[in-house]
Amino acid sequence: MLAALTFANVKVSLVWNLADTLNGLMAIPNLIGLLLLAPMVFKVTREYFESIGRPLA
């Protein structure tokens, strides 16, 4: 409620800049997770394709 009242009196450009910044910050944990899980995904994918008889490369 307080945020709605506060941002109702602020310039629109500030609100958009804040929203863009917060959306960008939400991407950071996702990117870290992708980097940490990528080796496992490659390993499982390789094992799957080898089990069905079609090696990746």
Q: How many helices (H) does the chain have, and how many strands (E)? A: 2, 0
pLDDT 10s digits, 28-41: 999 999 999 999 99
User: Are the CB atoms for 19 and 11 separated by under 8 Å?
Assistant: no
How far, in Å, CA of 38 to CA of 45, rounded? 11
Q: Which amino acid is at 6?
A: T
What would the mean pLDDT of 4-25 be, rounded to a whole number? Answer: 89
Q: How many whole angstroms from its chain centre is CA 34?
A: 8
pLDDT of residue 54: 87
- Say whether pTM exceeds 0.75: no
pLDDT of residue 30: 95
